[in-house]
A and B are shown apart, each in its own frame.
Chain A
Amino acid sequence: MSEWFARNRAMAILGLVVLVLAYAYYFADKTTALSMYRYSWSYAVPLVLCAMVGVIGERSGVVNIGIEGQLLVAAFAGFFGAAYSGSIIVGILAGVGCGLIMGGFLAWTTVKWRMDQIIAGVVLNIVATGITSFYYKPGQLLPSLMPHVNIPGLSSIPLIGEVFFKGTGVIALAAIVIAIGVHLALFRTKWGLRTRAIGEYPSAADTAGINVIRMRLINVTMAGALAGLAGVYLSMDSTSSFERGMSAGRGFLALAIMIFGAWRPLRAAAAALFFGFVTAAASQLQADKVIDVAPQLVGTLPYVMTLVVLAVAAGKVRAPGAVGQPFIKEGQ
């Protein structure tokens, strides 16, 4: 524990400061604070999940610029799957399945066929926009709402319990578990060690007897399921409707968040929360007429922030060494 603290001192202190400030505001103005925090978290959920997709992909050496497309198709498939079948479960499965399929496409084309990773990702995005716009039918309704639950015990903690564990959707809960799980897996398990190795220096992994190609295929494909989950959250939980282009660049935001989080799952999750908070704060200030600008301008905030974050982070964080490079075995 002390060792961990020594290594992450700056982050721990930052986290503590944020926590103190958050509680201070909470006790000062409970209603506004809670609604703002809840909004932040619901904005952050798909970003957390998508950032995990990016982290897993890039840690394995594959750039996934197609997260946006995975998200959109999953949102579409989830919503209409549920609307036509009349079952929320079918919707979730359809969304996650589509995420998997698109992840598989990206994995197969880039890892197996060594197609340019950026181009493959762009293809995914274009296909996603095309499919979802073409088959879109307005006026559909979800058969029921996504299940929301209270976690006994945890939900009674002031602030944290109320935001994360009280009346939250199952996907939002899953996002917390997934972020922590991916973090532990990446840094504390055999799978994580190997994944980091194939994304950093694949030939070293290869000579150690690790099947780089197979591992990349599996990782990128499986990560697609998380993008699928994010899509399902978008159309079935946070809004309960599907609209054209509703992913609205979140897949790209997630990549910025991944970079901001230095390719570390928990840091990326914190960065996603920060993005959510800034967005929530801006709309709150706008609603209170503290800042009097057009709502459209406030809506651009996450994207402007992305630019700023990337400019600040550039050069300070380092991407996995082999990201973007197809692995070609010696002598082939």
Chain B
Amino acid sequence: MSDQTQGTSPANDGTQPHGIPASAGKGDVDAAPTEYDPHPVEVDASPEHLEAIVTNEEILALPPEKSGFGAGNVGEVLLDVKNLSKAFGKVQANKDITFNVRRGEIVALLGENGAGKSTLMNQIFGLITPDTGEVTIKGDKTPVKNPKDAIGRGIGMVHQHFQLVPVMTVAENMALGHETSKGGFLDLESARAMVRELSEKHGLAVDPDAEIEDLPVGTQQRVEILKALSRKVDLLILDEPTAVLTPQETDELLGVMKDLANSGTSLVFITHKLREALAVADRVYVLRRGEVVGQVDDLTHTTTTDLATMMVGRSVVLNVEKPEAKPGEVVLDVQDLHVKDDRNLMAVNGFSLQVRAGEIVGVAGVEGNGQRELVEALAGMRKVVSGRMSLGDMDLTKANPYQTHHAGLGHIPEDREKHGLVGAYSIADNLVLNEYDQEPYAKGGVRQFDAVRANAEKQRDEFDIRSSGVEQSAGSLSGGNKQKVVVAREMAFGPKVLMAAQPTRGVDVGSIEFIHKRIVEARDAGAGVLLVSAELDEVLSLADRIAVVHGGQVVKEMPAEGADRAEIGRLMAGDH
């Protein structure tokens, strides 16, 4: 990870010599299709160069379109948000938010899930109308009506879920909504040319005639970025852009972001990954419960721990503290497993792995390399094509979920809404979903509600499930608390093997810390833990042993102690 521009980017301090040009209104942008060329031929990203740009009077004297910074000046305020508030029913999603973005800087918006980051950006992009407050874009205070309006005013957004039509080509997606026609017929050739030109200019290689669904996720994201750039944006909002990327793709993206910023595009980087925010951002705003709780203008002396503390509102332990593992005998044994996915392709392709009692084995891999199918097969939810898996001396190859549970397998599923909980049921009932027909929760086929309730009260205290009571429906809980219900249930029966798939996805930092602690406790109590996670940081900090998967098989196993992040990243990307 290079951090060449950290803390030295031109727009880092508020003492820019440029004011907002008086004419910087909306009409200015529309009326002046001056060659907006965000990239000079050679992008020099070195700090010296950047400093030179800001201080070099000669460059400042040039007309804007020749300075390499588009139609404006470095450091001018592009986006100014004042006292923005938005409530959904009783939930105050955004409260009194004030922040700004200047030209050519990367502003990171940090916050946990549910902190209101996406709501905030959707308001700026015109997808949601704010209740109160003011959004000023390049000095123009007119409210943003809709995405089209936002794009017209120079704001682009790369959504967390790509807004690309999967069955169409790159060129068609680029053209969509901004088509040119020739004699009544669609002129796709100009769209192709635009793709080629932009991808060359920005060094983002993309084939204009490739269909989106055939492209890897990282490339799809490039298309998204190119799409935004093709609308000649001044400000690009990236909503959790690294969530779906491999570490290599992430680094590449961060590089692209810096290049864009260096050439005059401003970026708002929404994330909850502290490392990435520190790596590229010039300034950071921290959101918590819909409010801006912190702002860091100089990141030189800021650490991830500082930012995490701001995000959560108290100090958190980012690195899991755990005593040394004492692995016992093999409890989970998977040999040459083959499992097909929903498209009938072999997703798990000769997977072999052993998990011992008292250790945490972390499965690291880019999503879509068979992890989901592996977990589902182990849980008895998916048919095994060939191979063997056993828990202790029980053969699980043909077991159904009921049998795997009673064999001693605890399963924290990846999709808790779908496979972990029944949203309409109470917390109490959800806590006995796997044991409802066993004593003491049922006697002679009749449910024992006192026992169910007593169990629920106990778990609620123990796992800190924040709710109005155990009769509250599980569906109405927040993500973190839902996950705690699942974790509580799957740990309560003393599993021999605990299988945790993405256990902290969509969970707030506070709950992550808690869930991690619990997983370590389960290990120390003698369970073998299989941790499947797309977050490399999570695997690195929690696991005792790491199995890197690619293409449905383990490509390498290694002890977590001293594991090399870069090496794992390469292995995950299939380079082995």
Which A residues form the contact surface with B (CB < 8 A)? 184, 188-190, 192-194, 196-197, 200-201, 203-210, 318, 321, 329-331
Per-residue CB contact flags for chain B residues 116-152 toward chain A (1 = under 8 Å, else 0) read 0001001000011000000000000000001110010
Q: Which residues of A are found within 8 Å of B164, using beta-carbon distances? A: 201, 204
- A208 touches which one: B128, B161, B177, B186 (CB < 8 A)? B177
B173 in contact (CB, < 8 A): yes
B157 lies within 8 A of A207 (CB): yes
Contact of B166 with A193 in the complex, beta carbons under 8 Å: no
**Complex CA distance for A318 and B185, rounded to whole angstroms:** 26
Would A331 and B127 be within 8 Å (CB), given that A189-B184, A209-B148 are in contact?
A: yes
- Complex CA distance for A188 and B148, rounded to whole angstroms: 24
Residue of A196, A318, A330, A331 touching B165 (CB-CB under 8 A) = A196
- Interface SS of B by simple majority: loop
Set of chain B residues within 8 Å of A207, measured between Cβ atoms = 127, 147, 157, 159, 163
Mark B168-211 against chain A: 1 for CB-CB distance below 8 A, else 0: 10001101111101001110000000000000000000000000
Given known A-B contacts A197-B168, A329-B127, A331-B128, A208 and B185 have beta carbons under 8 A apart: no
Interface residues of B in 543-570 (CB under 8 A from A): none
CA distance A179 to B179 in the complex (A): 24
- B88 (CB) vs chain A CBs: closest residue: A331
Point out the residues of chain A lying under 8 angstroms from B161, CB to CB: 203
Q: Which of A200, A207, A330 has the most CB of B within 10 A?
A: A207
Contact status B163-A193, CB under 8 Å: no
- Is the Cβ of A196 less than 8 Å from the Cβ of B168? yes
A192 partner residues in chain B, CB cutoff 8 A: 186
Check if A330 sits within 8 Å of B177, measured CB to CB.
Answer: no
Hey, which chain A residues are within 8 Å of B151, CB to CB? 209
The 6 A-B pairs with the shortest beta carbon distances in the complex, nearest first, are A208-B177, A209-B148, A331-B128, A204-B163, A190-B179, A201-B165
* B175 and A193 within 8 A (CB): yes
- State A4–B272 Cα separation when bound (angstroms): 47
A interface secondary structure, majority: helix
Q: Do B147 and A200 touch (CB < 8 A)?
A: no
Q: A209-B177, A331-B127 are in contact. Are A200 and B166 (CB under 8 A)?
A: yes
The contact string, 1 if C-beta is below 8 Å from chain A, for chain B 339-357, is: 0000000000000000000
Q: Which of B157, B176, B181, B184 contacts A210 (CB 8 A)?
A: B176
How many Å lie between the Cα of A121 and that of B181 in the bound state?
Answer: 35
Which residues of A sit under 8 angstroms from B175, Cβ to Cβ?
A: 193
A190 lies within 8 A of B186 (CB): yes
Contacts of A209 in B (CB 8 A): 146-148, 151, 177-178
Min CB–CB distance A22 → chain B (angstroms): 31
Is A205 a contact of B147 with CB atoms below 8 Å? no
Instruction: Assess whether B296 is interfacial by the CB under 8 Å rule.
Output: no
On whether the beta carbons of A189 and B181 are closer than 8 Å, the reply is yes
**Complex interface: chain A residues within 8 A of B178 (CB):** 208-209
- Given A200-B166, A206-B163, A331-B122, 16 more A-B residue pairs with CB atoms under 8 Å apart are A188-B186, A190-B186, A193-B179, A194-B176, A201-B166, A203-B163, A204-B163, A205-B176, A205-B177, A208-B163, A208-B176, A208-B178, A209-B146, A210-B177, A330-B122, A331-B127
Instruction: Please pick, from A193, A204, A206, A210, the residue contacting B186 in the complex, using a CB distance under 8 A.
Output: A193
Within 8 A of A (CB), among B50-73: none
